[in-house]
Amino acid sequence: MKPRRLWAVARKEFLHILRDPRSLGMAIAIPMLLLVLFGYALTLDVDHVPVVVWDQSQSEVSRDFVSRFAGSPYFLLSGYVRNYREVEQAIDSREALLALVIPTDFARRLGSGRAAAVQVIADGSDSNTATIALGYAGVVAQTYSQDIAIDEVRRLSGTTPVLPLELRPRVWFNADLESKNYIIPGLIAVIMMIIAALLTSLTVAREWERGTMEQLISTPLRTEELILGKLLPYFLIGLLDVLLAVAMGQFLFHVPLRGSVALLFALAAVFLTGTLALGLVVSIVARNQLLANQLAMVVTFLPAFLLSGFMFAISNMPGAIRLVTYFVPARYFVAVLKGIYLKGVGLAVLGGEALLLVLFALVVLVVAKATFRKKLA
């Protein structure tokens, strides 16, 4: 392989990119737009859940209980209703996600030391949010019940009882439990896949459609020189996108980066090489720009978005789908990014994922060379 011939191919691709500013703009603007869109619009945090209350007791005790919900950052008291029909209307119109129904004998039962039941109605059309909101409501009710029991013991005995068990949770790596702290790192892997889907999947197909591939075949270029020459410009654009994404995560979204920046870019370069080569394989196989772009979205972007653990926990997927995720390289890179960003770990912990990323890049480069040689034949 001669560097002069490799550079000649790379220079040709650079010139093509510069002469097509729309492609260059897409390569830089779309990933940044996606990062801003996901960073601000997508959140898995459940807070300010709208709640309506049907307080049939109309007592000081019931108002004190409702105030526990109103004072919680997880709930937003959106109003009071007078019957089940109004409860149904509030939930149907999305005015409320939860409804509290307090019975008429609420204060009387608590005052006599008996248990009182409070009905909580949840909108199950958003099952994930409803499940979390019900959990929050259960904690509020349990805390209120515990306070009543402590006050009763203090009133009867004159002493404050000591709880036999006190839970003191401590969250590592993402103390505030903010979803953006793991969404933004995962987006870097998705951005790289977009680069592969939008750019390298069109390179060889474009040569065939424009009739310039025959000219390249007639030159003394070797297969590896042509492949690496075509990958080099997009590799540099991909690294620029990674740099912009890391900078935006740091200064725009204030996502902590606790690990090694050098390790992050080194493994990003390995993963980027594999994804760009995968896009090139798609382009070689398709030989048509429209088909290549559609096929690249299926084999690159969609697996990275759905099966990498970026958005959906792999442990919650069916067994057959979990087996498929082992063949999605973005799964390992998302784990690498979260480890570097949130935990600050290095190769001592991430060595297995790093090795698999290197293996992925080598295998795809070999496949690209073999496939392109077959096309030349």
CA distances from 77 to 180, 315, 316 (A): 26, 35, 32
SS3 214: helix
Dihedral sign, Cα of residue 214, residue 219, residue 224, residue 226: negative
Token pair listed for 127: 């099952």
pLDDT along the chain (377 residues), means of 10: 77 78 76 81 79 94 92 91 93 93 92 88 88 91 87 76 77 80 84 76 73 68 80 88 90 89 94 90 80 82 85 86 91 93 92 95 91 61
Q: Which domains does the chain have, with CATH numbers?
A: 3-43+178-376 (no CATH), 49-157 (3.40.1710.10)
Which is nearest to 134 in space by CA: 116, 149, 121, 144? 121
Cβ distance 230 to 222 under 8 Å? no
Tally Cβ neighbours within 10 Å of residue 306.
Answer: 16
How far, in Å, CA of 301 to CA of 340, rounded? 22
Q: For residue 49, what is the enclosing H or E element?
A: strand 49-55
pLDDT score, position 374: 47
Strands 119-122 and 75-80, how do they pair?
unpaired
pLDDT for 273 equals 92
Given this model, what pLDDT does residue 363 score?
A: 94
For β-strands 49-55 and 119-122, DSSP reports them as unpaired
Rounded to the nearest 10 degrees, the angle between the axes of helix 261-286 and helix 180-195 is: 40
pTM of structure: 0.80
DSSP-assigned states of every residue in 269-288? HHHHHHHHHHHHHHHHHH-S
Specify the length of the chain in residues: 377
DSSP conformation class of 160? P
